[in-house]
């Protein structure tokens, strides 16, 4: 995966989803996505890890439907930030996830726990005893927006 350097520039392009650079690096640093994806037999075409990274990126952008992939298929930054070699079409993404859903769910559950454990993120309970977990691709510090243990996130 390409190492991205984050810096302020007056001459480079800007993207609405710059936070994906951090998401891609964090996923690869704190989980084992390639190893996990290999446990699902690849039938043909696009690698499982590219499908997983594509949908993870879409979810981080607040897009939970397969159709949304069409808007980012030609987005070079999205591909580089998430470490994707080959972008799937909406039909391919839907088909492969439909076919492999039962095998993917345990891998995603395990990856979530692994990520939280390895990243050593501070997780504290609310007064109700629940754990609020808010992860997003927005690169700004929202820590001063919390009110009574409930965080408010930017919806841009």
Q: How many domains is the chain built from?
A: 1
At residue 155, does pLDDT exceed 70? no
Q: Which tens digit of pLDDT belongs to each residue from 49-61?
A: 888 889 989 988 8
**Bigger pLDDT: 2 vs 57:** 57
Residues 6+ apart with CB under 8 A from 51: 88, 92, 93, 96, 97
Q: Give a yes or no: residue 151 inside a domain.
A: no
| Residue 74 dihedral angles phi and psi, to the nearest 5° | -100, 10
Q: Name the 3-class secondary structure at 74.
A: coil
Rg (CA), the chain: 17
Structure token digits, residue 16: 């609405």
pLDDT of residue 149: 44
Q: Name the 3-class secondary structure at 149.
A: coil
Q: Give a yes or no: residue 148 inside a domain.
A: no
Q: Give a yes or no: residue 12 inside a domain.
A: no
Q: What is the extent of the structural domain holding 45?
A: 20-122
Q: What is the mean pLDDT of the chain?
A: 79
Q: Which tens digit of pLDDT belongs to each residue from 102-147?
A: 888 888 888 888 888 898 877 888 888 888 766 555 556 666 665 4
Own/partner long-range contacts of 90-95 (Cβ < 8 Å, ≥24 apart): 90/66, 92/45, 92/46, 92/51, 93/51, 93/54, 93/55, 93/66, 93/69, 94/66
């Amino acid at each position: 995966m390409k190492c991205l350097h984050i810096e302020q520039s007056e001459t480079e392009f800007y993207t609405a989803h710059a936070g994906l650079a951090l998401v891609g690096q964090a996923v690869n640093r704190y989980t084992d996505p390639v190893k996990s994806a290999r446990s699902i037999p690849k039938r043909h075409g696009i690698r499982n890890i590219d499908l997983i990274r594509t949908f993870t990126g879409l979810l981080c952008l607040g897009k939970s439907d397969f159709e949304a992939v069409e808007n980012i298929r030609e987005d070079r930054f999205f591909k580089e930030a998430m470490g994707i070699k080959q972008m799937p079409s909406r039909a391919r993404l839907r088909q492969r996830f439909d076919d492999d859903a039962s095998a993917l769910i345990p891998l995603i559950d395990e990856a979530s726990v692994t990520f939280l454990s390895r990243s050593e993120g501070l997780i504290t309970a609310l007064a109700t005893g629940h754990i609020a977990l808010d992860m997003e691709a927005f690169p700004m510090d929202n820590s001063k927006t919390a009110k009574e243990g409930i965080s408010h996130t930017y919806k841009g």
